[in-house]
């Protein structure tokens, strides 16, 4: 693949695109099984021409594990493991991930209105639903955003969901009182449905940092569609340079 400049985030490719490209490569070996989880390590900067190589680690009757390396000029830039699993009947059927009560996307101004924004964010529409803005000295590291792809041709599938899932700024960034670098190191995501759907392309994401210590922050992420149905949850480890 050749990653264009408008998908960059500082000196590296936007992490959601790196993850989405890796998942697309894994799908070639998944034999139509739905993806259940993704574990991604952002090893180094990604950009320009890269080689994306999927490897089948194991295939069982109902599951498959596939690793993917994204390799650039300086070696491995990202390494992922995707878990796929076929649907089966189960006695358990519940969900305890209630969506926060927030205003509708059309009632909220653009998150980036009048401010600086990273290059990759030009591909998304984003609205601040709750929480603080980056570098606002907020008392809590918590941010809730409505997000959608600007591209009307974007499909409702796991790849497009993963591509937009990393778009919110790190939650800890809202507590900063002055600009400073912050960088994703790992990202774990779990897909909660085989049928990804929403209204007008909008998804609601809430990112919350639970800890920040010794230059690292750990945060949770949750995503719902416009009907309040959970579609993805995850965790991130971030390096904090402040």
**pLDDT > 90: what percent of the chain?**
85
Confidence of residue 118 (pLDDT cuts 50, 70, 90): confident
- 65-114: per-residue pLDDT in tens? 999 999 998 899 999 999 999 998 889 888 889 999 999 999 998 888 66
The mean of the pLDDT values for the chain is: 94
Q: pLDDT at position 86, please?
A: 94
The predicted-structure confidence for 2-35, as pLDDT tens digits, reads as follows: 999 999 988 899 999 999 999 999 999 999 999 9
Q: What confidence score (pLDDT) does residue 220 get?
A: 97
Q: How far apart are CA 53 and CA 67, in angstroms?
A: 8
Q: What's the pLDDT band for 115 if we cut at 50, 70, 90?
A: low
Structure confidence by residue, pLDDT tens digits, 143-152:
999 999 999 9
For residue 174, with 0-12 CB atoms within 10 Å meaning exposed, 13-18 middle and 19 or more buried, which class applies? buried
Alpha-carbon torsion, ordered 93, 156, 67, 73, to 10 deg:
-150
Q: What is the pLDDT of residues 37-54, one digit of tens each?
A: 999 999 999 889 999 999
pLDDT digits (tens, 9 = 90+) for 122-135: 999 999 999 989 99
Residue 116 has pLDDT above 80, yes or no: no
Residue 66 to residue 26: CA distance in whole angstroms? 6
pTM above 0.85, yes or no: yes
Query: Which pLDDT value is given to residue 112?
Result: 80
């Amino acid at each position: 693949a050749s990653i264009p400049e408008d998908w960059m985030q500082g000196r590296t490719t936007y992490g959601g695109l790196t993850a989405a490209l890796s998942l697309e490569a894994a799908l070639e070996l998944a034999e139509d099984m739905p993806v259940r989880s993704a574990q991604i390590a952002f090893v180094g900067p990604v950009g320009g021409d890269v080689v994306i190589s999927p490897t089948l680690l194991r295939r069982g009757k109902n599951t498959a594990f596939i690793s993917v390396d994204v390799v650039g000029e300086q070696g491995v830039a990202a390494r992922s493991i995707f878990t796929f699993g076929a649907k089966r009947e189960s006695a358990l059927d519940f969900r305890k991930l209630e969506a926060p009560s927030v205003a509708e996307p059309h009632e909220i101004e653009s998150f980036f209105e009048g401010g600086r924004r990273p290059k990759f964010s030009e591909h998304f529409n984003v609205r601040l639903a709750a929480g603080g803005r980056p570098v606002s000295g907020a008392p809590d590291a918590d941010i809730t955003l409505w997000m959608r792809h600007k591209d009307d041709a974007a499909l409702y599938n796991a790849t497009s969901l993963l591509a937009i899932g990393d778009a919110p700024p790190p939650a800890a960034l809202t507590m900063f009182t002055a600009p400073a670098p912050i960088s994703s190191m790992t990202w774990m995501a779990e897909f909660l449905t085989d049928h990804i759907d929403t209204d007008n392309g909008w998804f609601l994401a809430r990112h919350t940092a639970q800890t920040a210590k010794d230059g690292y922050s750990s945060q949770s992420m949750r995503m719902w569609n416009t009907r309040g149905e959970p579609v993805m949850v995850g965790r991130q480890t971030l390096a904090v340079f402040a």
